[in-house]
Structure 1
Amino acid sequence: MKDVRVTHIGGPTALIEVGGWRILTDPTFDPPGRRYSFGWGTGSRKRTGPARRADDLGPIDAVLLSHDHHADNLDEAGRAVLAGVPVLLTTRAGARRLAGVSADVRGLRPWEESVLRAPGRAPISVTATPCRHGPPLSRPIVGPVVGFALQWPGQEHGVLWVTGDTVLAPALREVPRRLAVDTVLLHLGGVRFPLTGPIRYSLTGRRAVELCALVRPRTIIPVHYEGWEHFREGRAEVERAFAAAPDGLGDRLRWLPLPAGG
């Protein structure tokens, strides 16, 4: 299983294809225009729709859901997708809330592992990685989030890591100690809300550079940077941050085109 194809659908949503597996991350397929409440007086409007409709994706073998309680990671159309998916991996709390929505709902804490298996395909090991979706002590407000590290037989250079929505918390520094990362799907956006001023709830370009300098992936794929009004840093800000990064780190950025058809 050497060849990996990643298709960015919009926001955090991406389709990962490897070894016959088709794995979807954080399904968001609602059309643009609606405003969503995120709780505690925060909210956001969706500005752009998905680059591809859910109906056009074909069969999905598994969904990796970093968290279920924010609509920019799981919206109403995304929830409809879950009903037809054999396996759903998410947080422990999310698995309790989504029990029964898919045939096999698995809740993971950071560093817990689950294996995707199917006849005729090599297994894929999925390890949950830590996230902190806001400042210190914010978890009771923002809720639990996990990332995912994917490993499979024949993987030459290291794991494929989906960071999930996170800031550069101390727990993320454990990732390069435990995992050799080849490709990272990097959740960005520098999320802020007027109610909480300068506090960030996802990686800025500058913090993303710090994280990637620790992890040293060969390929960096930005996601979760466009399509919503609470995303405060887009492609231009991220490119500037990586252009100033040492050791040619910016050369590892790969901006995936959003395919036509949304």
Structure 2
Amino acid sequence: MKLTRIGGPTVLVELDGWRLLVDPTFDPAGRHYSFGWGTGSTKMAGPAIGVDELGPIDVALVSHDHHADNLDDAGRAMLPSVGAVVTTASGAGRLGAGGPGGSASGRAVPADRLHGLEAGESVTLSGTRPGLPTLVITATPCRHGPPLTHPIVGDVIGFAVRRQGEDRVAIWITGDTVLFGPLRRVADELSIDVMLANVGGVRFGVTGPLRYTMRGRDAVELVGLAAPRVATFAHYDGWSHFVDGEQGLRDALDASAASVHDRAVWLVDGVAVEV
């Protein structure tokens, strides 16, 4: 497996010939985006690889479509051209209509290539090229904020990707989430090869001390529970709403037990890293 960090949550996963793209974000730096309810963030860094350099994508895994730090305008524009899009059930409804504003806001993803899932549901995807194994992608639970914030933050999922016929998860992508009971249970129950965790400790001035994604120490706890062969990380820098950020993650890993620290692999912007 090869992982290429592109920026924010956007990672290219190359698995047995499949090219999977996590949360496409390709807008340039400098723009401020509103997330609603008085929250928002400024993009501080552009993508390490542009859409035109990316090459064909078999599957886009969109943890949620309604926050621009996980799906921005350029990322949204590319979705109709990929082989399949897997996202939340509610997000599939919006993307199938062309976006939050319906078909007038952009091209719709064709229905036969769009798969909306609730946590616990799966989709099976067969390769369109010779030699590609069949993949089973299961949505895993996320809570993108404190208790009772779902009406504000909306639906979010992670992704457990398996080869059909295998119990072991080839890669688990946590999505944007805080550390909570259902996430701990997934980490404890799954047998995981590679884990890709979104961290950064998101906070907003308007909501004070409330956090909307995991901090470094939360990620360390989750890695300890999941015990993957490799643990790696995304979505901890490049935006103004990260408070814990890269340094918080590095500090937590430096202070962690060897059973966690030795599993960690840092991704390099724009470079394919074999894991």
2:219 maps to 1:222: no
Question: How many percent identity over aligned positions?
Answer: 51
Alignment of 1:86-105 (within 5 A): 86-99=83-96, 101-103=108-110, 104-105=113-114
Question: TM-score under structure 1 normalisation?
Answer: 0.94
CA distance in 1, matches of 2:61, 2:91: 12
CA distance in 1, matches of 2:148, 2:120: 20
Alignment of 1:72-221 (within 5 A): 72-99=69-96, 101-103=108-110, 104-119=113-128, 120=130, 121-152=132-163, 158-221=169-232
Please report how far the alpha carbon of residue 153 of structure 1 lies from its aligned counterpart in structure 2 after TM superposition.
Answer: 5.3
CA distance in 2, matches of 1:92, 1:153: 22
Give 3-state SS (helix, strand or coil) of 1:159's partner: strand
Aligned to 2:60: 63
CA distance in 1, matches of 2:213, 2:31: 22
Structure 2 unmatched runs, 5+: 98-107
CA distance in 2, matches of 1:16, 1:228: 22
Please report how far the alpha carbon of residue 58 of structure 1 lies from its aligned counterpart in structure 2 after TM superposition.
Answer: 0.5
Structure 1 unmatched runs, 5+: none
Mapped contact 1:159–1:179 kept (Cα < 8 A)? no
Aligned to 2:13: 16
Mapped contact 1:239–1:250 kept (Cα < 8 A)? no
* CA shift digits 1:66-117 (9 cap, x unpaired): 0000000000000111021121000010000011522311100011010111
Please report how far the alpha carbon of residue 173 of structure 1 lies from its aligned counterpart in structure 2 after TM superposition.
Answer: 1.8
Question: TM-score under structure 2 normalisation?
Answer: 0.90
| Worse-matched range after superposition: 118-127 or 24-33 | 118-127
1:161 to 1:188, Cα distance in 2 relative to 1, 3 A? same
Aligned to 1:49: 46
Please report how far the alpha carbon of residue 155 of structure 1 lies from its aligned counterpart in structure 2 after TM superposition.
Answer: 6.5
Please report how far the alpha carbon of residue 62 of structure 1 lies from its aligned counterpart in structure 2 after TM superposition.
Answer: 0.8
